Structure 1
Amino acid sequence: MPAGFEAQPFAGPLSAELARPESPGLALYWLGQAGFLLRGGGLTLLIDPYLSDSLAEKYRATPLPHLRMMPPPIALTEIGPVDLILCTHAHTDHMDPATLAPLLAAQPTLRLVAPRAKRAEAMARGGIGAERIVTLDAGEAAMPLPGLHLRATRAAHEDLAQDESGAHLFLGYAIRLAGKTVFHSGDSIPFAGQVEEVRALKADLALLPVNGRSAALARQKVPGNFFLDEAIALAAAAGIPRMIAHHFGMFAFNTTPRATIEAAAARPALSLTLLPAATGMEYRLLP
């Protein structure tokens, strides 16, 4: 591992790990799909948590049944206090009402960050009023909590879709917390100007989807993401020294084998540290 970064397995459930006192630096835990829990600087954040089985219910008895390949690593009732939830876009595996609404109901001070283009939908799915939502569009920044700085970037979940006002439907977020910057691209493929936009963030770690895309899935209205080599190329070109590959291992019809990511991580000429996301693992950016 490069200096300033650790990836360590932990024994026992994630709930027990989170019950321990916070350590220095910025810790990350994978929740499955594009979901992560971040803890540092006295704050706990969730990004795109999908901790239910709502998509299996929605698509029951259809050609794409959305059966989970992995169970949620933690129950909603075991997460503990959360300060902010960030959703990159409105697809249910990123803005899940069965995850958001119970968490927001149980924690009255918890707020939600979402694309401005999906403000009404985010409020409805979370069951919250306007006072509990922070909206951003690409290029905008916010400091919703002391010690936390957010910047929204463009994302192309196959295209740079915008609403009638020009607000972007799909976002990425640069999260500056505990002296470190993590870039979560949201669901995206490569697009013109992306490398320059991401390079300007000066991120310490990239969280990038690697499930790829196909014409067959597009015909079934399932938009795709970076192929693994595209994600690696973006992180390398943007000067990001570490990358965690995610958005795999959840739905059998739309995934990438873990072994493929592990093989890429072992390439001798790779210019960055690449890790496949894993549950039971703590990733830590050291102070």
Structure 2
Amino acid sequence: MGKSGNRYYDGPVSDHFDGRLFFNPGGIAPLGFRDLLKWQFGGGRTPWPERRDSPFPPARPSARIDGRGLSVTMVGHATLLIQTAGLNILTDPVWSNRASPVRFAGPARVNPPGIRFDDLPPIDIVLVSHNHYDHLDLATLKRLQAVHRPRIVTPLGNDRIIAGALGDARITTMDWGDGLDLKEGVSLAAEPMHHWSARGMGDRRMALWAAFVLTTPAGHVYHVGDTGFHGGSNYRAAGAKYGGFRLAILPFGAYEPRWFMQGVHQNPEEAVEGMLACGAAYVAGHHWGTFRLTNEGIDAPVEALQKALDARGIARDRFRPLHPGEVFDVPETG
């Protein structure tokens, strides 16, 4: 642990780091333990089925996609395979049965991964947006390291968690605004999202959270692993900076009750507003239907999403709520 008391990161003060903890500038701080108990024991949870199989069989992705091709395959929750420019990129990979620090308790999958682990193509890059257990799964990262030895890219501080379990993994950390060249013509940038971090009770906001932007010959791809809407400010800033996106990968589930979740998880209506604010031609919707984290029913996010799209006059096929195993070959734009 550093002199500041932060166990993961010791660095200079910035507009989102106070010398000990990270924060969302002008944003909503995560609620405390009393509020957590109020939510957990307050009732109002819609039951989920113990199992809900995807309408799509497990996918068997191509080895590589080149040129202006852009394909996204849903594994489940926030885990997606992005294929473009000859690269295979996984986001927030979780193949474990539970999103939890233990194997015997915590949110369990209601559907199997949409790509069997052994059917993965060679994985070049892994993006880990933050350290919550439904996004940073050390068991899965160990499997990926053993088979694929990918480059793991994650915001500041999370490298300490990953390296402690994976040893000699190739880990690159990024602060908001940082850029990274992945190969000729392909770059990655870290951008703000409105969230928080913790692996336990004593490490809140000690590691950073971030969205990612891929710049490729196929266009810009904006991946947001988890976020509160924050008035749309981060979306507007990203749209202005990059001139819009061929694809945005946006969360739209795990949002009830709003009094507890509004600062950390956007709802479907806000996700649609985010799509418009950042100038996304298409959206791959995630963070729904695999792990029960919050109060809404399993089908509620898609029903609310369709209503929000209809209300804004947006064709439903532009914002795809992806099921495990579903492959989205993103149309070209421009």
Q: What's the TM-score, normalizing by structure 1?
A: 0.79
Instruction: Specify whether residues 260 and 133 from structure 1 end up closer, same or farther in structure 2 by C-alpha distance, changes over 3 A only.
Output: same
CA displacement at 1:168 relative to structure 2:
6.3
Q: What's the TM-score, normalizing by structure 2?
A: 0.69
- Give the corresponding residue for 2:250: 208
Deviation string for 1:118-164 (max 9, x for gaps)? Answer: 22112224x0436x1111111111113333211111111269xxxx9
Instruction: Specify whether residues 158 and 133 from structure 1 end up closer, same or farther in structure 2 by C-alpha distance, changes over 3 A only.
Output: closer
How large is the Cα RMSD of the aligned pairs? 3.1
Q: Is the 8 A contact 1:56 1:68 kept in 2?
A: no
**1:194 equivalenced with 2:234 (yes/no):** yes
Deviation string for 1:219-248 (max 9, x for gaps)? Answer: xxx984111111111111222222222100
Instruction: Specify whether residues 213 and 118 from structure 1 end up closer, same or farther in structure 2 by C-alpha distance, changes over 3 A only.
Output: farther
Q: Is the 8 A contact 1:90 1:122 kept in 2?
A: no
Greater CA radius of gyration, 1 or 2? Answer: 2
- Give the corresponding residue for 2:303: 259
Deviation string for 1:185-238 (max 9, x for gaps)? Answer: 1211122631332212222111111122436866xxx98411111111111122
**1:66 equivalenced with 2:107 (yes/no):** yes
Mind listing any 5+ residue stretches in structure 2 that lack a counterpart? 1-54, 198-202
Aligned ranges 1:263-274 → 2 under 5 Å: 263-267=307-311, 269-270=313-314, 273-274=318-319
Counterpart secondary structure, 2:280: coil
Counterpart secondary structure, 1:45: strand
CA displacement at 1:60 relative to structure 2:
3.4
% identical aligned pairs: 24
Q: Distance in 2 between matches of 1:158 and 1:11?
A: 33
Mind listing any 5+ residue stretches in structure 1 that lack a counterpart? 1-9
CA displacement at 1:183 relative to structure 2:
0.6
**1:171 equivalenced with 2:224 (yes/no):** no
- Give the corresponding residue for 1:49: 93
Runs of 4+ in 1 over 3 A off after TM superposition: 10-13, 21-24, 215-218, 262-268
**1:39 equivalenced with 2:59 (yes/no):** no
CA displacement at 1:117 relative to structure 2:
2.4
Q: Is the 8 A contact 2:194 2:264 kept in 1?
A: no
Q: Is the 8 A contact 1:213 1:224 kept in 2?
A: no
1:22 partner letter: I
Q: Distance in 2 between matches of 1:278 and 1:209?
A: 13
Counterpart secondary structure, 1:105: helix
CA displacement at 1:85 relative to structure 2:
0.5
